[in-house]
Structure 1
Amino acid sequence: MSNNSSGAAGRPLDDRVILVQVLVAVFLLINVTLLATFFTKEVFYTTVRYIFFATTLTSDCLILVLTNVLLLHDYFRVTMQTGLCCVLFVLSFVYTLVTPFTLTAMSLERYVAICMPLRHAELCSPRGALTCLLLIHGLSFLPCLVTLLAFFTSASLSFYQRSVLCSAQVFLLHRWQGEFMAALNQLYFVSMCVSIVYCYVQIMKAAKSASGEDKKSVWKGIKTVILHAFQLLLCLIQLWCPFIEAAMLLISEKVFRNVRYFNYIMFYLAPRCLSPLVYGLRDESFFQALKHYALLGFRRKRSFH
């Protein structure tokens, strides 16, 4: 890596960058704690909904780290080799899509559990979860694959030896690449929205005919689907952020940077704090395990002292 300008490395952190570092550190600490709790009981890593939950936590951790690295490189104007930038681009793009795809799968799992309970064990097995996760990663990589194939066939050999300020724009040599990625992403998210709305409607129908403990369980499932839908909405807005920021750049660079930080905090960081709320705190079994794990660590620390 090399600096893009001699004074970039000495540039002081402003309040917005410090705020981002604090938020990223807090969310990473929470997510890593939840992931550690996931591996404390066999029931968690053999149950589909918890497997999906762990996948979203892992995806969110990767996105937090990758986007923060890219943000700091952009802020300090630090360049990197094109090959390394390509790896960061692929990982950040793929895992930006993995989270909403997994949220949709979690909603479908709740639909099967509530509306098709007799087939839940058959349709939602750990083996089926692994197949679903492989499909999710394949679909998430598809837009990126087409973009990279076009880039590799168009870029000269000398381009790979350059140091660049890493961003997705580095790999968009043709206008159609951006349009293709945007179109495919919109198709993905429309499909996800339709799936979640369908799950919500079917679970609502089940709620009308349920009674007693079943009714309580169904309404909890409805709240979970609503939270997933809200997360998905925030993820969908991410796709519009580059277009909004490009329009702001035409006004002024100061407005562009302010809007860019706002979008990053609201539509990249905020959705990553909702996953712990949905399952980490609302799911009674997981919350009890989390509390036990946290208290055990605290007691060990006191015993050590």
Structure 2
Amino acid sequence: MNSSTRQDSLRDAFTKNFISFSLGCFINVVNGAFVYIYFKNQVFQRDPRYVLYIHLVINDMILLTVSVALQIVTYTVPLRVAACCIMLLILTTTNKISPLNLAAMAVERYIAVCRPLHHAQICTVQRAYALIALIWGVSVTPFFTDLFILLATQPPSFFSGTIICYPSYVYNTPHHKTHSVTIQVLLFSFVFLTLIITYLKIFCAARAASGSNQASARNARNTILLHGVQLLICMLSYISPFINIILVAISPRDRTKILLVSFLLTGVLPRLLSPLIYGVRDKKFSSHIRLHFCRKCHSSVEKRVNRTGPRRRSKREFD
């Protein structure tokens, strides 16, 4: 996406940045509403399921903000390598956190359905926060490995220069490519196997259960299926460069448009899935959202009426 900046006119560049910025703001506002409801009601903060869910939402907000900011920066001001590395630290770390968080949520649903008597002891809020810290530690480690390779292969003058801030431009050695492929394969293999195993276990539990337990197991099974959909979308961000190469080779005149659509489909719009899939589907979350915002609308109407005073009736109304 960033490599096309020099081929764009001022109007095209403004249009692209405006679309990305507008969509990013809209999605962050939607996500922010769920974060606000979470911190407004302590009932969510005492449930490890919602702790993991809101962590996923906040992570998506950070990832979306940095992605859009990075796109705008590459169109406006040159970025030094040191500043670019800081932005890539946030970008690559949050990008790896999403699939790991999905795996953690799937395991929590598995324990709730298949080990209900042990769920309260195993899945606690304290352990959820400890798991989040572990996810951050695992996700940030590959960045420092890439940075050490960069320090070993590049001269000191490289870090004082400017560069197009895109991972493939900064980490462009064969060692970086090998390291990146290895991490991606290990990461997604682990998450994919976790989702498959938990889904099969919950599927068997749903067939063996009856009544309300069967409905609960069915909901958990559907949730893990949605985890799988999100994982596939996360994988699109890694294979999108190869798709872009093929599409650009087919239609080189539409290169900048292809890169924009690819960025929106793999980097921006997927950040809207978390609130839509979990917040809207979850009865407790959706009921609190309706209750809170309907109460806000009702109170604003009452304030407006009290400010203007009661409406005077005309003589015709009394007659």
TM value normalised by structure 2: 0.86
**Matched residue of 1:39: which SS?**
helix
**1:146 corresponds to:** 145
CA–CA distance in 2 between the matches of 1:166 and 1:97?
18
Q: Describe how 1:7-156 pairs up with structure 2 within 5 A.
A: 10-13=10-13, 15-74=15-74, 76=75, 78-156=77-155
The change in CA–CA distance for 1:280 and 1:66 in structure 2 (over 3 A counts) is same
CA–CA distance in 1 between the matches of 2:51 and 2:290?
19
User: Is the 1:108–1:199 contact (alpha carbons within 8 Å) kept by the matching residues of 2?
Assistant: yes
What is the letter of the counterpart of residue 161 of structure 1? S
Q: Describe how 1:125-274 pairs up with structure 2 within 5 A.
A: 125-248=124-247, 254-274=253-273
The change in CA–CA distance for 1:249 and 1:9 in structure 2 (over 3 A counts) is closer
**1:278 corresponds to:** 277
- The percentage of aligned residue pairs carrying the same residue is 24
CA–CA distance in 1 between the matches of 2:13 and 2:283?
41
Name which one, 1 or 2, has greater alpha-carbon Rg. Answer: 2
List per-residue Cα deviations over 1:6-51 (Å, max 9, x = no partner): 9989555465544333321221110001000001111211211101
User: Is the 1:112–1:119 contact (alpha carbons within 8 Å) kept by the matching residues of 2?
Assistant: yes
The change in CA–CA distance for 1:198 and 1:137 in structure 2 (over 3 A counts) is same
CA–CA distance in 1 between the matches of 2:230 and 2:8?
36
Q: Which runs of no fewer than 5 residues in structure 2 stay unpaired? A: 305-319
Question: Please, what is the CA RMSD of the aligned residues?
Answer: 2.3
Moved more, 199-208 or 295-304: 295-304
TM value normalised by structure 1: 0.90
The change in CA–CA distance for 1:299 and 1:13 in structure 2 (over 3 A counts) is farther
User: Is the 1:73–1:165 contact (alpha carbons within 8 Å) kept by the matching residues of 2?
Assistant: no
The change in CA–CA distance for 1:14 and 1:229 in structure 2 (over 3 A counts) is same
**Matched residue of 1:282: which SS?**
coil
User: Is the 2:149–2:175 contact (alpha carbons within 8 Å) kept by the matching residues of 1?
Assistant: no
**Matched residue of 1:151: which SS?**
helix
CA–CA distance in 1 between the matches of 2:248 and 2:77?
21
Q: How far did 1:122 drift?
A: 1.5
Q: How far did 1:157 drift?
A: 2.3
What is the letter of the counterpart of residue 148 of structure 2? L
CA–CA distance in 1 between the matches of 2:90 and 2:58?
12
Which is bigger in relative contact order (C-alpha 8 A, separation at least 6)?
2
CA–CA distance in 2 between the matches of 1:41 and 1:65?
26
**1:295 corresponds to:** 294
User: Is the 1:182–1:239 contact (alpha carbons within 8 Å) kept by the matching residues of 2?
Assistant: no
CA–CA distance in 1 between the matches of 2:23 and 2:217?
34
Moved more, 168-177 or 195-204: 168-177
How many residues align? The count is 300
List per-residue Cα deviations over 1:200-256 (Å, max 9, x = no partner): 101010011111111111111111111111001110121111233345556665444
CA–CA distance in 2 between the matches of 1:58 and 1:202?
29
